[in-house]
Structures are given as structure tokens and as C-alpha cells.
Amino acid sequence: LRFRLAGYPRKHNEGRVEVFYNEEWGTICDDDFTLANAHVLCRHLGFVAATGWAHSAKYGKGVGRIWLDNVNCGGSEKSIGDCKHRGWGNSDCSHEEDAGVVCKDERIPGFKDSNVIEVRTALARWGHGPLAARPWALRSAVGADTHAGTAGTAGSAAGQQGGCRPCGGCPAAPQRPRSPCRLVAERQQLNYRLHSVSCAGTEVHLSLCALELVRGNASAPCAAGMPAVVSCVPGPLFAAGAHKKKPRQQQQGQPRIRLKGGAKVGEGRVEVLKGSEWGTVCDDRWSLQSASVVCRELGFGSAKEALTGARMGQGTGPIHVSEVQCEGNETSLWSCPLKNITEEDCKHSEDAAVRCNVPYMGYEDLIRLAGGRTVSEGRVEVKRGGRWGTVCSDGWTTKEAMVACRQLGLGYSLHAVTETWYWDASNVTEMVLSGVKCEGHEMSLGHCQHHGASLSCKNTGTRFAAGVICSETASDLLLHAPLVQETAYIEDRPLHMLYCAAEENCLSSSARHANWPYGHRRLLRFSSQIHNNGRADFRPKAGRHSWVWHECH
């Protein structure tokens, strides 16, 4: 049995329950439905438990068969099929009675979700290569993956899908491996873990390929081969000198793709350019294979998670495509089978998103926070020339703080702090970086403009060292511009009715010289509507303790 959550509006951990039985998706009727039923279904879906359930097609009416009716579970059953029910396909319900569940947003450890790749510990202890302890991805002559180095201790006796020979070139690969014989020779000890690895090239992770584990008592593992060696082409964000120019725009006329709303590099809501307008992708049939095509097209590795239900925030504007069904070997999302849709078919609560495997560049080892109350805040300390030091806060703005939080792997910047005397919990007192000026897209503070070795700081000392407060989520305010245009009008208003507006500095500066309370001002009036499309509440800058009563409002 396979299960999924569907419908809208919903979050990723709730929705109409659909079950795949007898080669057909169908729903479950809400007659006699209980929380115990929801517990069993949520465990099927990979969540630890249920917090509630919904009746009367709260998440919209399904289509197709109604597979189950009068389901009665005790709550401890391993499968919904073990619960009492009227029999598969035997129902007196309509789709207006489709049941839904609300699951606790906590995953069962090790749950195998077809849309999530989790690298288990056993696979993370492969050997001594630089990639051995990190999630990574390989593919054969499809395009540019972004991890560089030797791939640990997988034996090369298997059939070579990309035409590579041990200690030779890879004619089918995008780039010839750099001195693989020397890379092999540098290994002092060979500790084989895998052999006979055979991939189709469309897998999103090496663990999904056919492979054999080396037995611990094997006398001569990989006797017919040598250590497997790979050389990967860096994506545009990671190529040498990429940080010196703005993110590369693809050539004119080509369909483009981008990630928005993600807190970290390589994650975000998928947006595509169609005509001259950016739009989103509906999450119907969204899979790891399609997500991997997106990740590779953007120059990352394969996808580690395909996210549904607007997990990276809801987009705006049109929803361009739905039911993307990539096989995994396409070079662009537009090469995959997909459905062009109108906005009636999908809502922005169904926007698809991805989390991509990103190469380990070592940027996070060159920055740290000190003195904060939590791991997400503190005085910024960077490593330059082999020594740790502070950053001058002259000109330290949200853009620089955003880059610092990104380099730390802590998401967005909530505040750029220019006085950090209350975070002085480190013995680091030397300033090593000044004049930092970022565009905001950089992956490291070292990629931003700065003074280099010629340090210059107006306010010296650790009191004025730069600091940040980072957050995994942030608000994202968007003005409803068409409403402003539709409602704007000119009004002449007497001055005696504008005292409050003057106190709030809502009038132009020339109003100070007017002959109060006589005369009038000509005002531009309009309605305003501001949406928060982010994943955090938007709150006033000042806390409630500093709010004051004002007679104007």
C-alpha cells in the first residue's frame, strides 16, 4: 500500500488521505472515523503520530474510487489494512465525505519517503576520501555535478556506465579526471567497502544503485579492479572566481529557473520563467527525480529532498506547470514531461520546492559566532591568515549580515548588530577584517569587497565588532501593487483635519510652513494591502514594552 496527502489549502503534514490500491489512487470515507485511524495513517505517511483529523472533504473532494469505509482501528495496527472496515472498494459514500488527517510535524527516524533521501550512518563511513562523510551525488555524462575529490573506497570492478577506465580518462564525462593515477597512488591504505556498483545514471544517490558490500573476511577485495576515482565539474556558483561577479544569468531566449524563499544555499521554492513572467511549479507528482533535474540544472548535486505543500513559502503570480515527471537524466526541467496549467488547477499552497546536495567548500570553517545566548546569534569572528579575529562594524548592514548567516549555515539575518559589548565572551580581540561591503548573494564574507590587509575602522575595539542574529525563517512582505493603482485618487483636505497626519510625519515637509489651521493640502490617497509570503510572522520593530498610547489612533 502507498499513501499520500492531497488537497488544499494545507500544510505538508496535513491533507486528504489517498491510498494506492489495486493500481489506482482512491480516498477514505469519514464514516466512523476516529483519531486512532489517523494515528495509523500518519505512521504510514512517515509521521510519528496524529494530532487531529478532518471530515466532510475539508481539503477538497478527491476523485476516483473510495477504497475504504467504516474504518475502525485500535491505534496500534501496523497497517490500515489490519483495521476493521467494510472491504476494499465497498462504500456507500460520496467524495463529499473524504477523510483527512493532521499529523504531528515530526518524522519517524529512518522512514523511507520516496521524496526524501537520508544518508544513513553506515553509508557515511565509507573510507578516507574527502567525500566519505558527506552526502554526495554522482551521475554519468548528464552535466555538471559539484563535488570535487576522490570518492572514497568504492571498487571499480563493476561495469563502467560512463566509459571510464581505472587510471584512465573519461571520454564521456564533461571533464577529464585530473591525474587519477596520482590520486590513487597517494592513498596509503585501501579499505574497500563496496564493489560491483552498477548505476543507470538516473539515481539520486549512490545507495540506490545496485551494489555489493565487501565482506569483512574477504582475503583480496577488488582483486580485479582499483579504487574508483571521480572528477566533477563545479557548478557556476562554485567555479573559480564565481564570487567576483553577480550570479550568472543564462543566455537570452533560454527558459530560466531559480530558487526563492530558501534560507540556505541550494534550497528554495522552484520558480520558472515562461514568456517574460516568473511563476511557480505545482507539486502534483513532484518527485526526487524531478527535483534532481532542477538541482543539476542550477549547478548543484542531486536533490536530497523534494518538498511539497509550499514548504518554502507560497509564491505569487502565475503557476506555470504541474505534474512534472522527470526520469532523472534530463538536463533541464523543460525537457521533462509536464502539464501547462491555469491557476484554477493548482493553488500557491501547492508550490513545489527542493533541497539540493551542495558541495563542501569549507566556508563554514572560516567563520564562527561568540558570546550569543543561542547558537544563532553572537559576535562575528572570521579566520584570516591562520588567525581568528573580529569584523569592523562600520557599514555593517543587513546585506553583510545575510552573507554571514548564509556562510554559517544558519539561514536568514534578523538583525545586523553594530555594538556587541554585551557578547564579549571571547578572548579574541584583534580585528582582521574591515570595509566589508556585500551585494547580498555571496556565499562567504571573503567574497565581498573589503579592505584586505589595509585595515581601517572608525570605531575600534571589541565593543564595536560586528554581530548577527540569524533565523531559519523570516517574513517576506509583498505590496499588492495593482490595488494601489486601482484605488489611487487626489483629495483636497482642510489643514484642521490633518493635525494627526502632521504629527506622524505623513505630510510633506512644506506643510510645516502652512498657515495652520487655515488652508488645505492636496493629498494622494490610496488603499494598501501587504501580504506576508514568508515563513515567519512579521512583528513591529519595537517590543510591546515600548509602545505608547497616541490620541491619533
pLDDT tens digits, the chain, 553 residues: what are they?
889 888 866 777 888 999 999 989 999 999 999 999 999 999 988 899 999 999 989 888 898 999 999 999 998 898 898 999 999 999 999 999 999 999 988 888 777 666 665 544 333 333 333 332 233 333 332 333 334 333 344 554 343 333 333 322 233 334 444 455 555 555 556 778 888 888 888 787 888 888 888 877 777 777 777 888 887 777 777 776 666 655 444 444 455 899 988 888 899 999 999 888 899 999 988 989 999 999 999 988 889 889 988 888 888 888 999 999 999 889 899 899 988 876 567 888 889 999 998 888 889 999 999 988 889 999 999 999 889 999 999 999 999 999 999 999 999 999 999 988 888 777 888 899 999 999 988 889 999 999 988 888 988 778 889 999 999 888 888 888 889 999 999 999 999 999 988 888 888 889 989 999 998 899 999 999 998 877 788 887 788 888 887 776 6
How far apart CA 186 and CA 165 sit, in angstroms, is 18
Show the cell assigned to 366: 572560516
The torsion angles phi and psi of 341, rounded to 5 degrees, stand at -130, 170
How far apart CA 87 and CA 72 sit, in angstroms, is 12
Helix, coil or strand: residue 349: helix
How far apart CA 269 and CA 348 sit, in angstroms, is 11
Q: How many CB atoms lie within 10 A of CB 316?
A: 17
Angle at 92 between CA 89 and CA 96, to 5 degrees: 100
Tell me the C-alpha to C-alpha distance, in Å, between residue 355 and each of 14, 352, 421: 21, 11, 37
Strand partners, 16: 6, 100
Closest CA to 265 of 147, 329, 360: 360
Element (H, E) at 388: strand 387-391
Element (H, E) at 471: strand 467-471
Q: Are 147 and 137 in contact (CB under 8 A)?
A: yes
The amino acid sitting at 457 is: C
How far apart CA 451 and CA 453 sit, in angstroms, is 6
Omega before residue 135 within 30° of 0, cis: no
Between the two ends of the chain, the Cα-to-Cα distance in Å is: 59
Alpha-helical segments (H) within 308-465: 398-408
How far apart CA 112 and CA 134 sit, in angstroms, is 19
How far apart CA 15 and CA 8 sit, in angstroms, is 7
How far apart CA 313 and CA 477 sit, in angstroms, is 12
All structural domains of the chain:
2-103 (3.10.250.10), 257-356 (3.10.250.10), 363-471 (3.10.250.10), 481-532 (no CATH)
Q: Are 302 and 201 in contact (CB under 8 A)?
A: no
pTM, to two decimals: 0.62
Omega before residue 234 within 30° of 0, cis: no
pLDDT digits (tens, 9 = 90+) for 8-35: 667 778 889 999 999 899 999 999 999 9
Rg (CA), the chain: 29
The torsion angles phi and psi of 271, rounded to 5 degrees, stand at -125, 140
